[in-house]
Structure 1
Amino acid sequence: MSVSANAASTTTGAPSGSGFRIPKVPFWAQIVLGLVLGAALGWLARGQDIGWLKETLSQIGTIFVRLLKLAVAPLVFFAILVSITNLRKVNNAARLAGRTLLWFLITSLIAVGIGLALGLLTSPGAGTGLTPKDGQLPEKQGTWIDFLTGIVPTDIITPFTELKVLQIVFLAAVAGIAALSLGEKAKPILTLSESVLELLQKALWWVIRLAPLGTVGLIGYAVADYGWDLISKYATFTADVYIGCAIVLFGVYPLLLATVAKVNPIHFFRGAWPAIQLAFVSRSSVGTMPVTQRVTERLGVPKEYASFAVPFGATTKMDGCAAIYPALAAIFVAEIFDVQLGIQDYLLIAFVSVVGSAATAGLTGATVMLTLTLSTLGLPLEGVGLLMAIDPIIDMIRTATNVAGQALVPVIVAAREKILDHDAYSSATASPIDEAPEATVPQDRVPATA
């Protein structure tokens, strides 16, 4: 058979000497199919009251999330440790780190401002039919004392067994700084850490490939368990969260890319979309981190800088969970409990959203951040119970916004520092998740800042 014939049989799926070739379905299409199938199965389970189907969907979704969380503790530790030590390979590392923090702050302030504006315009707690007695105290609460003292662990085991991500970040930062100070003596440890990080990312990649199946379970159970009856009570609040995140995601971010980074926003979304869609399904910024770092590098951000900015952002940069959501939630709870908020309260919300964002820890849900906000404002913590009912539905768009912001800031900083590869940015594809991850341990130095 000729070469052209062989090519034709490969591309068309026609039979050849080795049999039929199954066409490759893009990952985004697999996710969409999972969403559609999950919604259909959930609707069937709820409409026909099929208990075993609902339970099956619940178990599928739960197993997928557990697999993601399984790698969270070691992944965060080694990602932060390696990212800090990689800064030694970056010219103007302190400047890049400072600019990254600055843009984390700026974008968070913009996001919380949008959340407050939407809440004041729409009054999400009015007309819901919900009353204070519908609320209940959360099992876990967050206070400033807990937040500040919770940064430093009492031992090195508990943060990993109880998945206290902020304490894991602290331990990793200390280890990374110590390794930098030791210099060549720490090289064996750094080599081992880089190898372990690659191993964890590879294993997590296999879990990520199961995302379409996890989507069926997560979406299906949400539809089967909640239905439209519950959502209707929270219609305004849910719409506010989705609209607020959409404004940030498709309004603020493109504007910053076009005016500050001076790049085409369409290219950003084309390249970052695999991470955004996985975040929407998994509801975990940390679980999505390997994909986020990969797409960020594909967008032309140098590996050395991306390996610092993305892991750091995955544990602290939460425009959806820590900015838009707590702003709207505070207004919602205040209206349900008939508490009047003043200008000083709105300023407190902005402060808590920016400073306390690390409390969300990049995991599914934002209960700790919400309790931290409500307790700071003196609002009843029973309001958390009101919002937990709808949390899985709104957490999807919150996490997608988080991850988009975690990829956005490195692009902006790299562009302003003139280290962004514009050719790579313009040619970034939307399908890096379809491929096995490349080694993430950087070898080359970042070009000097102009």
Structure 2
Amino acid sequence: MSVSSNTQSKLPVRVPFWAQILAGLVLGVLLGWLARSQDLSWLVTTLEKVGGTFIGLLKLAVAPLVFFAILVSITNLRKVNNAARLASRTLLWFMVTSLIAVAIGLVIGLVTNPGAGTGLTPADGKAPEKTGSWIDFLTGIVPTDVITPFTELNVLQIVFMAAVAGIAALQLGEKAQPILTLSESVLELLQKALWWVIRLAPLGTVGLIGNAIATYGWNLIGKYATFTADIYVGCLIVLFGVYPALLATAAKVNPVQFFKGAWPAIQLAFVSRSSVGTMPLTQKVTERLGVPKEYASFAVPFGATTKMDGCAAIYPAIAAIFVAQIFDVPLGVGDYLLIAFVSVVGSAATAGLTGATVMLTLTLSTLGLPMEGVGLLLAIDPILDMIRTATNVAGQALIPVVVSAREGLLDREKYDTVASAPIDADEPRVAVAA
């Protein structure tokens, strides 16, 4: 009996991915605080290198991952009944939730007046080198060659080329099967490689969070306290208010189960600040929640490049009000309607990458607000981008659940038991001695 007990005590204990990320967050905060309080430049540099290397590895696979994911996802729709209906319903729910999110952002901005009492002036702003406009957005969709979008990481153009290739493959039918087989194999290879990078997320968390604390501290945030709070409150309302309400009413499922299943992806998104980098994990958790693989393989990549409730709805709404108040530019009802329009139509401009500067410049240019307002917000953008991206990814997992539930495709038994089942053997875990 004692031998058996002793053997059992030495069995490894699996530490869940969310616990690894949480440990990285705590350690990162402590190291960042230590580096800043003790003025340890070597530690700041180390944290910056660790975090930068992790993000660099994520971005390394972004271009080919997006291309093959979109191509394969479009061709996979042929395996789904009522594919056109599913695609249209997905897009419709993307738009509905974006409208709700932008409305919440506008209400919060109008109630709190984030630009008042900051001490900031127009002189503190600096126009960005690159800005977004509707002309750039519309003409920028179509690439001039097939190489530049990959070398310059223009995700919107990559999505366009992948969509064209996918639709062409559908039209060719069996003749395109060798290309589709190759594309599926390449996609599997890329996702496997990205899983290895995702396993490094706890270490990357230490560097990213530690560097943010060491670099920004709390002094800079003080000037942006109301604005920062507005972004976090708005995103949290959408995350834990709007999304659960939609799950309970539109999908008629238990919202708690959704967060149990989707939490690893939401957590990774918070740290990595990249919807596309999180995409393989988002797709895993979406399938884990009972969404059919064929539909999830379309909806998640589509959402990772177009569904941005945090970056493209809440953030530009509050940011536009903030900039208008700093520059003393009055906004009317027509301006608020324009913000909603930009948020719904222009969200693809964010393209699932770290940061939402393009979307912000697109919004400001549409309203005729000074581009110098962007410079005011870049200083604290990494801190804001964490909660924005977490909200984005939660929405990207939510909509496939809602649509598949309403269309009778959701495996409800799988959804209801999601907490007791690991994602699969590839789920990032670490073993420790018990």
Residues in 2 aligned to 1:437 and 1:35: alpha-carbon distance in whole angstroms: 19
Amino acid at match of 1:410: P
Q: Which moved more, 1:422-431 or 1:108-117?
A: 422-431
Q: Deviations over 1:206-233 (max 9, x none)?
A: 0000000000000000000001100111
Q: How is 1:65-214 mapped onto 2 (pairs within 5 angstroms)?
A: 65-214=55-204
Q: Deviations over 1:360-387 (max 9, x none)?
A: 0100000000000000000000000000
Gaps of 5+ in 2: 429-434
What secondary structure sits across from 1:137 in the alignment?
coil
Amino acid at match of 1:310: V
- How much has 1:431 moved relative to structure 2? 7.2
Question: 368, 389, 403: which is aligned to 2:393?
Answer: 403
Residues in 2 aligned to 1:49 and 1:294: alpha-carbon distance in whole angstroms: 42
Amino acid at match of 1:53: L
Amino acid at match of 2:174: E
Quick check: 1:383 aligned with 2:373?
Answer: yes
Question: 6, 17, 24: which is aligned to 1:27?
Answer: 17
- How much has 1:25 moved relative to structure 2? 1.8
Compared CA separation, residues 200 and 431, structure 1 to 2 (3 A): farther
Compared CA separation, residues 278 and 435, structure 1 to 2 (3 A): farther
Aligned pair count?
A: 428
Quick check: 1:425 aligned with 2:433?
Answer: no
Residues in 2 aligned to 1:125 and 1:9: alpha-carbon distance in whole angstroms: 63
Q: Is the 8 A contact 1:104 1:409 kept in 2?
A: yes
Residues in 2 aligned to 1:427 and 1:301: alpha-carbon distance in whole angstroms: 13
Question: What residue is the counterpart of 1:442 in the other structure?
Answer: none
Residues in 2 aligned to 1:48 and 1:382: alpha-carbon distance in whole angstroms: 34
Question: What residue is the counterpart of 2:253 in the other structure?
Answer: 263
Q: How is 1:313-332 mapped onto 2 (pairs within 5 angstroms)?
A: 313-332=303-322
Residues in 1 aligned to 2:191 and 2:256: alpha-carbon distance in whole angstroms: 28
Compared CA separation, residues 157 and 134, structure 1 to 2 (3 A): same
Q: Deviations over 1:412-438 (max 9, x none)?
A: 000000110000000113874673169
Amino acid at match of 1:59: K
Q: Deviations over 1:79-133 (max 9, x none)?
A: 0000000011000000000000000000000000000000000000100110100
Residues in 1 aligned to 2:181 and 2:146: alpha-carbon distance in whole angstroms: 21
Q: Is the 8 A contact 1:42 1:223 kept in 2?
A: yes
Q: Which moved more, 1:333-342 or 1:421-430?
A: 421-430
Q: Deviations over 1:311-332 (max 9, x none)?
A: 0000000000000000000000
Q: What do you get for the CA RMSD once the two structures are aligned? A: 1.5
Q: How is 1:2-41 mapped onto 2 (pairs within 5 angstroms)?
A: 8-9=5-6, 11-13=8-10, 21-41=11-31
Residues in 2 aligned to 1:231 and 1:211: alpha-carbon distance in whole angstroms: 26
Q: Is the 8 A contact 1:33 1:212 kept in 2?
A: yes
Residues in 2 aligned to 1:430 and 1:393: alpha-carbon distance in whole angstroms: 33
Question: 307, 312, 325: which is aligned to 1:335?
Answer: 325
What secondary structure sits across from 1:73 in the alignment?
helix
Residues in 1 aligned to 2:388 and 2:43: alpha-carbon distance in whole angstroms: 28
Quick check: 1:299 aligned with 2:281?
Answer: no
Q: Is the 8 A contact 1:125 1:333 kept in 2?
A: yes
- How much has 1:22 moved relative to structure 2? 4.2
Question: 32, 50, 58: which is aligned to 1:42?
Answer: 32
Q: How is 1:356-395 mapped onto 2 (pairs within 5 angstroms)?
A: 356-395=346-385
Question: What residue is the counterpart of 1:286 in the other structure?
Answer: 276
Gaps of 5+ in 1: 14-20, 439-450
Amino acid at match of 2:19: A
Compared CA separation, residues 10 and 434, structure 1 to 2 (3 A): farther
Compared CA separation, residues 146 and 154, structure 1 to 2 (3 A): same
Compared CA separation, residues 100 and 9, structure 1 to 2 (3 A): farther
Question: What residue is the counterpart of 2:267 in the other structure?
Answer: 277
Amino acid at match of 1:238: T
Residues in 2 aligned to 1:88 and 1:195: alpha-carbon distance in whole angstroms: 18
Structure 1 residue ranges (4+ consecutive) displaced by more than 3 angstroms after TM superposition: 8-11, 430-435
Residues in 2 aligned to 1:245 and 1:368: alpha-carbon distance in whole angstroms: 19
Quick check: 1:229 aligned with 2:226?
Answer: no
Residues in 2 aligned to 1:340 and 1:309: alpha-carbon distance in whole angstroms: 39
Compared CA separation, residues 347 and 10, structure 1 to 2 (3 A): farther
Residues in 2 aligned to 1:9 and 1:219: alpha-carbon distance in whole angstroms: 39
Question: What residue is the counterpart of 1:241 in the other structure?
Answer: 231
Residues in 2 aligned to 1:172 and 1:430: alpha-carbon distance in whole angstroms: 37
- How much has 1:28 moved relative to structure 2? 1.0
Residues in 2 aligned to 1:401 and 1:297: alpha-carbon distance in whole angstroms: 19
What secondary structure sits across from 2:346 in the alignment?
helix
Question: What residue is the counterpart of 1:16 in the other structure?
Answer: none
Q: Is the 8 A contact 1:301 1:419 kept in 2?
A: yes
- What's the TM-score once normalised by structure 1's chain length? 0.93
Residues in 1 aligned to 2:111 and 2:71: alpha-carbon distance in whole angstroms: 44
Quick check: 1:53 aligned with 2:50?
Answer: no
Residues in 2 aligned to 1:437 and 1:308: alpha-carbon distance in whole angstroms: 21
Question: 339, 342, 347: which is aligned to 1:349?
Answer: 339
Question: What residue is the counterpart of 1:448 in the other structure?
Answer: none
